Structure 1
């Protein structure tokens, strides 16, 4: 076995761009510190909207070439963050983006008709078996993925949570599928989180600036929905402002999905990048090692 870095982080995401939005600063920070950072992306994001008019023909209901295009966007984004080990679950395109609808509550939900090759329809054990050998190969001390709701209800995010959780358990079992590598029990597992206080502060600043359309309908003083995590449930906050430019450049690399005049950059321009420079996590396996403020500021704290 080749020599592994002392610290190893594995992230499991549903589509290209999810990793940058949720963990761009975190990934850039750990790369800069010499840690091993491995990204697994479960689909190519074939069903995404195309925000670049001249590329509209790539959409799923036209030439259906968006997934192939997003492979290039992901590679460009990872180059901005410095991540050299990024892979697709099983193989590029093995699991297709399921797509999503908005339900009556305004949350993301499963479309009424899903394709047989969609990630949502994937056999859980088969998909987990595509991740187990990666876990056993890179032997991460930290795994980052979504919560059981996929943070906002997208079926592929929920499935990524299930696959990552199941694969982590299987990879740790010494008697399970020895052909997939030597057992490895991941010491710490985190779920991505959107900190309530951070989002409310950002929304207030947006509204005070006169912007009433970005994140329209979200009241900074009202209910914010299930994708927001109350601060009391947060275990770790990574604030690496020195890497915010890399995150913003990586977001721009995902050009078909994130528009420069959209909500991500509106928040950045009005907020001095506060919301995107701070990435929050909930620890769901392992022992927390908080600092004086009651929070960890290093995913590897205590290891």
Structure 2
């Protein structure tokens, strides 16, 4: 066990690129600090929109090769972040991207036509049983996933939340499926979060600078989607601003999904490290560590002794 990191983080995400957008800087920071980082991705993102014109033939309604391509993008992104332990839930291809469409209220909902092995249709216990042995093998003290709405309503994000939370419960029960490994109780569980006030400030600066296209339709003083939280609902902020450039490099690796001239990079250029290098979380299980002057915990592993 001497080569096992004393602190270990498990992240459960729906598609390639979700991990980098949400926690890419934190992942890179923890890797550099010698902490263990394991990523489980639930689908290959086969139904994603393709932003690279010369790769449009990979679309689901054409050659249907986007999932394999995004597998390569994920590999490249993880190299940028330094993460060496990344896996697909149940193995690559077990669950397919469910796709989505937009509701009139501005959040995602399931698509009209869903593939037979779409993640949204997965049996919850079966899917959780793919994750339980990973938890018992890695023995993470911290789990990061989405909230119950999946951030913005995407069915695969919601399902990833359900699978991660259920698997964490099952993995901790000594009498449950002993064949899947020795029981392990994850000490702290976090849901990804984004600050409403901070996003408003960044968006306001974009608009003041004359940028009316990035995050089109969003008003810095108007309605924002539900994945932006009031600061009082956020418990933790990891300052990984020193790793912002590595996060941006990992985003560039997800080229079919993230445009280098798109809103992520526009906001980064405008706000610098203050937007994408400060990553926020909401503690939903475990004991909050010491709170800093800004009112938030600063380390996901705060209060957890190193093994």
Determine the C-alpha separation between the residues in 1 that align with 2:264 and 2:207: 15
In the alignment, the residues of structure 1 paired with residue 289 and residue 5 of structure 2 have an alpha-carbon distance, to the nearest angstrom, of 22
Per-residue CA deviation, residues 100-126 of structure 1 (Å, 9 max, x unaligned), is 000110111111221220000000000
The question of whether the paired residues in 2 share the 8 Å contact of 1:267 and 1:273 is answered with no
Alpha-carbon separation, structure 2, partners of 1:236 and 1:262: 27
Residue 251 in 1 paired to residue 238 in 2? no
Tell me the equivalent position of 2:303: 302
Q: Provide the secondary structure at the position in 2 that maps to 1:95.
A: coil
Q: How many residues align?
A: 303
- Which ranges of 4 or more aligned residues in structure 1 deviate by more than 3 Å? none
RMSD of aligned C-alpha atoms? 1.0
TM-score with structure 2 setting the length: 0.97
Which residues in structure 2 correspond to 1:80-99 (within 5 Å)? 80-99=80-99
**Which residue does the alignment assign to 2:23?**
23
SS of equivalent to 1:190: strand
Deviation, 1:290, is 3.0
- Is the 1:37–1:85 contact (alpha carbons within 8 Å) kept by the matching residues of 2? yes
Return closer, same or farther for 1:2/1:163 CA change in 2, 3 Å cut-off.
farther
Give 1:3 deviation, angstroms: 4.4
Matched residue, 2:129 = 129
Kept in 2: contact 1:235–1:290 (CA 8 A): no
The residue matched to 1:87 in structure 2 has which SS?
Answer: strand
Gaps of 5+ in 1: none
Report how far residue 218 of structure 1 moved.
0.9
Q: Give the TM-score taking structure 1 as reference length.
A: 0.98
Report the equivalent of 1:179: 179
Distance 2:246 2:272 in 1: 15
The separation in 2 between residues aligned to 1:256 and 1:160, in whole angstroms, is: 22
Alignment partner, residue 65 of structure 1: 65
- Aligned residue for 1:191, secondary structure, equals strand
TM-fit CA distance, 1:2: 7.0
Q: Following the alignment from structure 1 to structure 2, what is the Cα–Cα distance between the partners of residues 244 and 90?
A: 31
CA distance in 1, matches of 2:51, 2:112: 24
Partner of 1:103: 103
- What's the counterpart of residue 150 of structure 2? 150
Partner of 2:238: 238
Q: Deviations over 1:43-84 (max 9, x none)?
A: 000000110111110111110000000010000000000000
